[in-house]
Amino acid sequence: MATSEKPAAKSTKRPARKAPVKKSSGSFIGSLFKGVIATCIALFLCGGFLALFVFALVYSQLPPIDTVVDYKPKVPMRVWTADGKLIAEFGEERRDFVTIDEIPDRVKQAVISAEDDGFYKHSGIEPKGFVRAALANLASGKKSQGASTITMQVARNFFLSSERSYIRKLYEVAMAFKIEANLSKDEILQIYMNQIFLGNRAYGFAAAGRTYYGKNIQQLTVGEAATLAGLPAAPSVYNPFASPKRAKIRRDYVLGRMRDLGYITNEEYEHEVNEPIKTRLTVAAEKVGTPTRMNASLHAEYVAELVRTLMFDIFQQETYTRGLNVYTTINSEDQGYAYRALRSHLQQYDRSQGYRGPEAKVDISNPQTREQNIKNALQEALIATDMPAVVALSVSPTEVKVQMAHGKVVSITGKGLDFVKKALQPKAKEDLKIVPGSVLRIAANKDGSWEITQIPQAEAAFVATKYDTGAIQALVGGYDFALNKFNHVTQAWRQPGSSFKPFIYSAAIEKGFSPQTIINDAPIVLDPAETGFKKWDPKNYSRTFHGPIMMKDALKKSLNLVSIRILQAITPRYAVDFIQRFGFDADKHPPHLSLALGAGSVTPWQMVEGFSVFANLGRRTEPYLISKVTDQSGKVLMQSTAEAEKVAGVEALDPRNAYIMHSMLHGVATGGTAARATAMLKRTDLAGKTGTSNDSFDVWFVGYGGDQCAAVWMGFDQPRTLGRRAQGAGLALPVWIDYMKDAIKNEPNVVRKAPAGVTESNGNLYYTNRKDAIPSLGVDDNSSADDPIGNIIQNTNVRGQIF
């Protein structure tokens, strides 16, 4: 039987819930840490990408680095003598460009030790330096450190400001990478060492070497190199001129770095750190207070300034930045001879006029204001070469104690007081008397001790040329460029006096005169129609008359009345036209009879040019000062053609005329007013002419010997007499002699041969077969009123005529 089963009943019970698992605290922190790490990584990646984007954006905006790749530093113009001595430099920045190969290892090592010891290893930035600088800045709360590598400093110097900001630093880093990608390490270091500012207008280490030590870069010691290497950090703070103590601290730090990096030994380090900071100013200061005779260094300040103005006319502002090298014709030894001769004789003349009294007087009675008053007085005093200003502290007839600008007190006694004896007497006039507080001048005397002196008031000029080319060998435009920058060689238009007579005589020879022409040296009175101004009764300097005299002897004695009669005969108008052959300006020489006595206006420059015609037997050479101009690479930009022109020659005067005039000028130097020249120099080839203008306002000597022609002038800037008996023979000629005795001492005597067409007979010179003669004038004058000159040209063959 089937059975049926009942379905099972559904259970009404709910399933039991699982108890929640309780997480541990460690698991929670781990999850949180992972989240933070993930976030940081994400932020870092985002920041990195952002930084890369910003850096790429900055890099794309960087300026081209052509100025670095094609580096052209601002180099000043330098002026040189013909024998390679530096005269002067002119520029906005003192800089000597040197290649990396020319820089000694010790200097490069000092710079790398001080600024960037990993320079040759990194690629433009130093990560460790950045971290170090960042930590220092965070600690101080200031942007005190920048971690700049040498490459970054190059970037900043060329393209960026010195502002301390993170944006500027970013640009600096980007530019450093760009520079490193385009230049080698040596090229970067070369630029840095030529461009970096090191104080006192010195840019680059070569210029700094000359500025601070007076040395070229190859001569710097390890200690000096370390001192300079310490300057880029703060040129004003570590300046060895202004702050020698700080400079020594910085130097010693650099030396320590050099030792630690193995560039110098410990022994070298110990030796250098024990050396004091000794700059060129330190050396000079040690000499201050010690009397030294006239400065033997090269003094060509007037030459330098003349060159500067000539170059500026051509190159304008590039004159000071293009690195021009201007080579002059100046011979450094001859320049020294001229400088010392001119100053020495000006001082002698000034002393002969007596002491004028103190320059000023200051109150030194109050101890509280005494030092400041002295300081002020010496600061206000004019700066004069080799003549420091001092203030008298105590005064007696046998001793004067004076204080110098640097505070040193010196005692002057004996011969040092000879010049001012009268001013030391109790009864001396008030304006002359020397008392405590008097501002005085002192100089070294022949014995090597101090003497009281004074600055000359008169001025002088000297110029010497190689007369066959015109190349200027020496040029001194005045007593002291520091006192008076007016160049009397080129700018002073003065009356030449009797030194102009040779040109009038030459004109007369052209008209038919000869050295043997007899002219009456007798009184003459000229009316205003002939003089151009007023009635005139000229006199000879000696106030005597010689009667009939040969023209050559009249030139020897420099007789005024003979010269006037000659000019009467040839006419002033003819003379003015004639003298232009020698380079003189017609408008400076009015056509009046006073022209015979040199009443026109000339410069010393013109006078050497004029006399060169006689020295060259008819060829005129224009004085020139610059032989060539190059850029800093040595490329010739300008070159004188004087040597080529010397070969070609420019004839200004008939050689016969020039030879006869040379003979007459030689007579002046052997038996005339300049006979002292031959007596002292013992040469047979000297020729020249003295000159004294009206009332002795100007005195001259112009002459030649050996291979040089030189002109000397002396006078006052505001024309006044040099003295009742002042003459060119007594004041100007000695300067010329002192120069020539050294300048041409090794030159052989020049023998000039008479050119074709000149005949010599019994010591007299004539034009050969000349068919002209000069009638009498002044002696038995029979000329008619219609022909006051007296029929100048006659068809006779008389070799000695009467005037």
422-475 pLDDT, tens per residue?
A: 999 999 999 999 999 999 999 998 888 999 999 999 999 999 999 999 999 999
Q: Which percentage of the chain shows pLDDT scores above 70?
A: 81
Which sequence spans correspond to the domains of the chain? 68-287, 356-453
pLDDT band with cut points at 50, 70 and 90 for residue 16: low
> Locate tokens 């000659």: which residue?
566
Residue 271 CA to its chain's centroid (Å):
38
Give per-residue pLDDT as tens, 322-365: 999 999 999 999 999 999 999 999 999 999 999 999 999 999 99
* Enclosing H/E stretch for 789: none
- Three-state helix/strand/coil letters over 45-89: HHHHHHHHHHHHHHHHCCCCCHHHHCCCCCECEEEECCCCCEEEE
Give per-residue pLDDT as tens, 123-168: 888 766 555 555 555 555 554 444 589 988 888 877 655 555 556 6
Q: What's the helix, strand, coil split of the chain in %, to 5?
A: 40, 15, 45
> Locate tokens 């501002």: which residue?
439
Q: Is the dihedral of CA 670, 677, 549, 543 positive or negative?
A: negative
Which residues have C-beta within 8 Å of that of residue 396, sequence separation ≥ 6?
Answer: 424
pLDDT, residue 349, reads 98
Give per-residue pLDDT as tens, 535-549: 888 999 888 999 999
pLDDT, residue 61, reads 52
498 is catalytic: yes
pTM of the model: 0.82
Which of the residues 89, 113, 115, 180 is marked catalytic? 115
pLDDT, residue 144, reads 45
Which residues have C-beta within 8 Å of that of residue 55, sequence separation ≥ 6?
Answer: 170, 174
Residue 223's closest CA among 237, 235, 234, 212? 212
pLDDT band with cut points at 50, 70 and 90 for residue 294: low
356-453: what fold?
A: OB fold (Dihydrolipoamide Acetyltransferase, E2P) (2.40.50)
pLDDT, residue 1, reads 44
112 within 8 A of 193, measured Cβ to Cβ: no
pLDDT, residue 498, reads 97
pLDDT, residue 788, reads 33
3.40.50.300, 3.30.1330.10, 2.60.40.10, 1.10.3810.10: which CATH number matches 68-287? 1.10.3810.10
- pLDDT surpasses 70 at 297: yes
449 is catalytic: no
- pLDDT surpasses 70 at 551: yes
List beta partners, residue 327.
80, 628
- pLDDT surpasses 90 at 648: no
pLDDT, residue 674, reads 97
Which of the residues 438, 498, 558, 693 is marked catalytic? 498
- What's the mean pLDDT in 741-748? 97
279-288 long-range contacts (CB < 8 A, ≥24 apart) are 279/212, 279/213, 279/240, 279/241, 279/244, 280/212, 280/213, 280/214, 281/241, 282/244, 283/214, 285/406, 288/404, 288/406, 288/408
pLDDT, residue 59, reads 52
pLDDT, residue 800, reads 39
- What's the mean pLDDT in 41-46? 68
- pLDDT surpasses 70 at 46: no
Decide which of 324 and 179 is more confident: 324
